Chain A
Amino acid sequence: MGEFFLQALKDCFTLQGIVFIIAGSLAGVILGAIPGLGSSTLLVVLLPIAYKMDPKMCMALFISVVIGGMSGGCIGSILLGIPGTSSSLCTVWDGYEFTKQGDPVRALSAAVTSSFLGTVPSVIVAIFACRVIAMWAVNLGPWEYAALCYCAILMVVGLSKGNLVKGMLGVGLAMFMASIGTDPITARGRFVFGGNFSFLGGLNLISIMLGLFASKIIMLEYAKQEKADQSLNIKVGKYRWPGKDLGHNLLGFIRSWVLGLVIGFLPGLGGPVASIMAYSTENMLAKDKSKWGKGEIMGVISGETAKNSAIGGALIPLIALGIPGDASCVQFISALNTKGITASPMLIRENPGIVYVIFTAALISAIVIGIYETIGMPTFPALLKIPYHYLYSIIIVLALTGAYMSTQSFFGLFVALFSCILGVIMDLLGVSSLPFLMAFILSPQLEMYLRRGFTYSSTGGSEFFTRPISCAFIVIGTAVLIYGIVSPIIKKGKKSKNDQAREQAAELED
């Protein structure tokens, strides 16, 4: 292993390697910061270039873009209140509150530091634990994956700031919307509205995100005219070491990191689920929940740590098993295929040079991004210093262009417009968009694993409950939902008891 690592270091520290890593990292940060774009868009565009590149350099560039994109996602979330990437969704809730309160540096510093501290150890773990964890993962079946998706969705519903019933209603709608298109098992069209070919590919997640966030938020912000004063009052200084914030939340940080690593490792989940799960876990464990959603620093740290530690986690199944941990890993596999390399358990044995370049470039990229984000923090809010009419107009244009690019057709644009209207209706009727979006992201996996679970089962699906890991996820998810239903009733009961006691005391006094 040592000699491969040394060789990878030599490869990465060539002029070409350095240029690719720095350019990829910075491009990733920029694209990650711009809402709706994300590193995946750049990776897709870079795929054709992969044919002409050296495979090692190609992988170094790709991993740098992924790490940059993941880290840069927090910038849009904190400064604009619009998630740069789907992984930065929950950073908006508390991160943007700091910007509203006039202290975005605290949130940005915590996010940047958490990103770095989330990425580097997770990649180191990936280097050493690749073989060992891959052996464990072989034992996981569709039952465990389905149960995990179920648990993740219910945890988000339990976390839903608004009405729990309305949160579940959003989940139901998302499950239906995710069913539109080709059936993942039989490849037959469902809800394709008279055999319309555009619907066969399903509703694209990027278009939904662009509509539900960028287009809707800017439309409503313009309508409410809230942005005008805020953008003028924001002051952002230099990076501040968030020692106090991290120190006070050390246990939560470690929990989020572990959770991110484990979820990143599980195929198809990746950063978005990792960050939301970490956020919801910390929210649930918090003694004082009153600040959550109003500017709680742990809300920023948990999500940012988890989504970045998910990078290392996602590299494990990708390299050890050839299974994509998240959407970016799919691009990795495609890039490897362009070089005639198949991502499989044989990858480490047959192409150790490429594998160790991925790990080494990931570490160097994390350091490059860490340096840029700490020194260059005052450059982040340059976006907000642009008068908002400039910023919003360009965001809309990029969002619409991104919606087209996501499907390479006008269907992506129509989906974005539909999502924009849907988002407004959901806001109007008090349905939180997060459980909806979470369920929409996870539904394809949930359905596939659920049906595989039944198909592979010899006992009519009892494995969902008899396999310990699967059963544990189901119990946790259900318990969170029940807690969400029961706790307001208990609180209400306590409140009415207290009121009665107060009334009795008042009567006695009289």
Chain B
Amino acid sequence: MKIKNKKDFALGLGSILISLWIVYECFAMEVLDRKGDPGSRMFPLIGAAIMFICGLVVLIKPGKESKTFLTKEQWKAAAVIFGIYILAVVLFWLVGFMITVPIILFILTYLMSALSRPNDSKKKRLIQSLIYAVIAGALVYVAYVIGLQAKLPTGLLFELFE
């Protein structure tokens, strides 16, 4: 069987599988019997039914193959940014807000400045990014921790040494 539209095939099949899993989970769920109440299962089951029907329609009647979403190089660039997001979460957990913010600011600014300031030398971009990370990091800290009195993570490492 030749697949007409790979993306729609994946979407249809994925939706059907997720909806079947939701149905399974719903019936494994403990439900309190209240008079007149259709119960906790009703709403997710409606969602699953919609997903199943729509998934089936997409699978049976796929649309035209759309143009390339991202090229290989663009996927790599997106993955780098997502890697930085994950790094930020890990650093938040490990060293806390105060240290993570300037580090992430520096990495992102330096990385992105290569595209927006291609004519600047590496050294210049590095210094500018560093200065920006320190100043903006301090401002964010003042705004959130001092100004807004937000409770932000202090970091596992610092908590251990306290």
* Chain A residues in 8 Å Cβ range of B104: 393, 396-397, 400
Q: Are A179 and B113 in touch, CB under 8 angstroms?
A: no
Q: A410-B92, A414-B89, A443-B43 are in contact. Are A404 and B113 (CB under 8 A)?
A: no
* Chain A residues in 8 Å Cβ range of B75: 223
Task: Please give the distance in Å from A392's CB to the nearest CB on chain B.
Answer: 6
* Chain B residues in 8 Å Cβ range of A388: 112, 116
Q: A176-B44, A387-B113, A420-B82 are in contact. Are A190 and B132 (CB under 8 A)?
A: no
* Chain B residues in 8 Å Cβ range of A183: 40
A424 CA / B58 CA spacing, docked (Å):
19
Q: A186-B32, A410-B93 are in contact. Are A451 and B37 (CB under 8 A)?
A: yes
Chain A residues 57-77 with CB under 8 Å of chain B are: none
Q: Which of B66, B105, B149 is in CB contact (< 8 Å) with A393? A: B105
Chain A residues 443-479 with CB under 8 Å of chain B are: 443, 446-447, 450-451, 454-457
* Chain B residues in 8 Å Cβ range of A401: 97, 101, 140, 144, 150, 152
A415 CA / B9 CA spacing, docked (Å):
27
A454 CA / B85 CA spacing, docked (Å):
44
Q: Are B54 and A166 in touch, CB under 8 angstroms?
A: yes
Interface centre among A163, A168, A171, A390 (most CB of B within 10 A): A390
Chain B residues 31-71 with CB under 8 Å of chain A are: 32, 34-38, 40, 42-44, 46-51, 54-55, 57-58, 63, 66, 69-70
Q: Which of B29, B97, B117, B129 is in CB contact (< 8 Å) with A190? A: B29
Interface 9-residue window, one of A87-95, A197-205, A212-220, A256-264: A212-220
A427 CA / B75 CA spacing, docked (Å):
13
Q: A169-B15, A188-B40, A389-B112 are in contact. Are A219 and B58 (CB under 8 A)?
A: no
Task: Please give the distance in Å from A41's CB to the nearest CB on chain B.
Answer: 8
Q: Which of B11, B32, B36, B153 is in CB contact (< 8 Å) with A166? A: B11
Q: Are A172 and B54 in touch, CB under 8 angstroms?
A: yes
* Chain B residues in 8 Å Cβ range of A42: 148
Q: How large is the interface on B (under 10, 10 to 19, 20 to 34, 35 or more residues)?
A: 35 or more
Interface of chain B, helix or strand or loop or mixed? helix
Task: Please give the distance in Å from B152's CB to the nearest CB on chain A.
Answer: 7
Q: A175-B47, A394-B136 are in contact. Are A400 and B152 (CB under 8 A)?
A: no
Q: Are B15 and A188 in touch, CB under 8 angstroms?
A: no
A148 CA / B66 CA spacing, docked (Å):
35
A208-243: CB near B (< 8 Å → 1, else 0) gives: 000000010011101111011001000000000000
Task: Please give the distance in Å from A423's CB to the nearest CB on chain B.
Answer: 11
Q: How large is the interface on A (under 10, 10 to 19, 20 to 34, 35 or more residues)?
A: 35 or more
* Chain A residues in 8 Å Cβ range of B11: 166, 169, 429-431
Chain A residues 351-383 with CB under 8 Å of chain B are: none
Nearest residue (CB) in A for B133 is A393
Nearest residue (CB) in A for B57 is A165
Q: Which of B47, B93, B140 is in CB contact (< 8 Å) with A397? A: B140
Q: Are A454 and B32 in touch, CB under 8 angstroms?
A: no
A446 CA / B88 CA spacing, docked (Å):
36
B5-23: CB near A (< 8 Å → 1, else 0) gives: 0011011000100110010
Besides A397-B105, A417-B82, 6 more A-B contacts (Cβ < 8 Å) are A176-B44, A185-B37, A190-B44, A227-B116, A389-B108, A410-B93
Contact surface of B with A, Cβ cutoff 8 Å: 7-8, 10-11, 15, 18-19, 22, 25, 29-30, 32, 34-38, 40, 42-44, 46-51, 54-55, 57-58, 63, 66, 69-70, 74-75, 77-78, 81-82, 84-86, 88-89, 92-93, 97, 101, 104-105, 108-109, 111-113, 115-117, 129, 132, 136, 140, 144, 148-153
